[in-house]
Amino acid sequence: MVDERTPDIAAGRLTAEQYVANFNDLHPPLDRHQALVESDRCYFCYDAPCVTACPTGIDIPLFLREILTENPKGAGETILSANILGGMCARVCPTETLCEEACVREKAEGKPVRIGELQRYATDALMADGTQPFVRAAPTGKRVAVVGGGPAGLSCAHRLAVHGHDVVIFDARPKIGGLNEYGIAAYKTPGGFAQAEVDFILSIGGITVEPGKALGRDFSIDSLREEFDAVFIGVGLAGVNALRLAGEDQPGVSDAVAYIAELRQTDDLAALPVGRRIVVIGGGMTAIDIASQSKRLGAEDVTIVYRRGADRMGASEYERELAQTDGVTIKFNAQPTALVTDGGRVTGVTFEYTAENGAGLAGTGETFTLDTDMVFKAIGQTFVPEALNGAGQAIAIDSGRIQVDDERRTSLAGVWAGGDCIVGGEDLTVVAVEDGKIAAESINRALAG
């Protein structure tokens, strides 16, 4: 990433104390008193709108009442019975646009019950106890292959294990967890929480993990169908969209997803190189995460540029405000048209202002240039269907992703799919968890005949 042509990209810009402070817990957990006071704000609505707004259908009024009656572990079990990754979702789920936005307190007062933080309080209490609340059914003798150890795969595997089936998770990376391990901003999940949650899920038993095994390289869908009774595909999005600009391969231009993965796996933040002036191109959560973390690594000037208006940005208003609090500048309605290079390295990005018209987005002809020594591409990821191998032609693809029905069945008998790789995947942990859960129940019904 760094060579003699990129002198402004360097490591160790901050003191050890600054790194610790910058990447500490974004939201310190609620203590007992805070949790009791906050849960008491719930109206315990009948047909609660917050439950409807939750993609996994967590019984929110019930778990809040359990907290209020000082049964946090029971509350945690209520949460995990609907969302086995409830601990991670409590940290990264956009509750401000889901359950908390639907909260009656939000409608009445503009201040919702802090559902996300209460969910963390409850799930942390349960996981700290070290007791696995779920019990496996009697072994069925059936074996299911789960391809991809991200949220969808983990959710599917756990639910299948509860039903008594044996599960093998195959994942291309050294660790399972998917984006929870490799793609979430480090300050949102410090202390190795992603792997702690994985260990908790696997403790149900009946799940074997095969890391470093990639679909299309080490095995195929066809080979799995021969060996297993069912297959679930939860491989996420392995491809990265390109800027399609000259100079994109020059030093100083990086893929935001890959950089975040490197940051998440490093043992020494001071060894991670970062530029002084950074431009992030994109408007989703990845753009926000890389921008905020760049500032926290010591970058002096960080600017996000998004081609549409604020109302079209994938990142929520809360996340935008978080980045701006970190000192990130966000520019809207501008698209990159050229990379400025000097001596084989990127020194700037030229943008053209955009405007919406009846036909869509169009350039206005007016341009500006931002000086930079490091550019991050955060313009989305794509599904790579080639990995499906011989089954690629048999599994229906629509709009570049796997086509599934309401039970997450693909067009190929005995194969289900979920998460970002399917049509309609929403790039949210909580949605992927629900996909895995729905698929697992469908697989269980199929295996039961």
Q: Which two three-digit tokens encode residue 71?
A: 């049964």
How many other CB atoms are found less than 10 A from the CB of residue 239? 14
Mean pLDDT of 35-53: 96
Residue with the larger pLDDT of the pair 290 and 247? 290
Is the pLDDT reported for residue 7 higher than 80? no
pLDDT, one tens digit per residue, over 100-146 is: 999 999 999 999 999 999 999 999 999 998 888 999 999 999 999 99
CA–CA distance, 382 with 170 (Å, rounded to integer): 20
CA–CA distance, 206 with 164 (Å, rounded to integer): 8
Is the pLDDT reported for residue 205 higher than 80? yes
pLDDT of residue 427: 84
Do domains 32-129 and 240-381 share one topology? The answer is: no
pLDDT of residue 136: 96
Angle between helices 256-265 and 285-296 (to 10 degrees): 50
> Of 252, 256, 211, 244, which is closest to residue 378 (Cα–Cα)?
256
Distance, CA of 212 to chain centre: 20
Mean pLDDT of 300-317: 94
Q: Which CATH number fits domain 32-129: 3.40.830.10, 3.40.1400.10, 3.10.450.50, 1.10.1060.10?
A: 1.10.1060.10
pLDDT, one tens digit per residue, over 267-294 is: 999 999 999 999 999 999 999 999 999 9
Q: Tell me the average pLDDT of the chain.
A: 94
Is the pLDDT reported for residue 392 higher than 80? no
Residue with the larger pLDDT of the pair 427 and 245? 245
pLDDT, one tens digit per residue, over 319-337 is: 999 999 999 999 999 999 9
pLDDT of residue 5: 52
Pairing between strand 334-342 and 345-357?
Answer: antiparallel
Residue labelled with tokens 């269980």? 444
Pairing between strand 230-233 and 143-147?
Answer: parallel
> Of 423, 345, 405, which is closest to residue 1 (Cα–Cα)?
345
Tell me how many degrees the CA angle 104-123-407 measures, rounded to the nearest 5. 75
Domain regions of the chain by residue span = 32-129, 143-238+384-447, 240-381
Is the pLDDT reported for residue 1 higher than 50? no
Full-model pTM: 0.94
Q: Are 76 and 127 in contact (CB under 8 A)?
A: yes
CATH 3.50.50.60 at 143-238+384-447, yes or no: yes
Q: Which two three-digit tokens encode residue 310?
A: 């604020």
CATH of span 240-381: 3.50.50.60
In this prediction, residue 6 has a pLDDT band, given cuts at 50, 70 and 90, of: low
Mean pLDDT of 235-240: 90
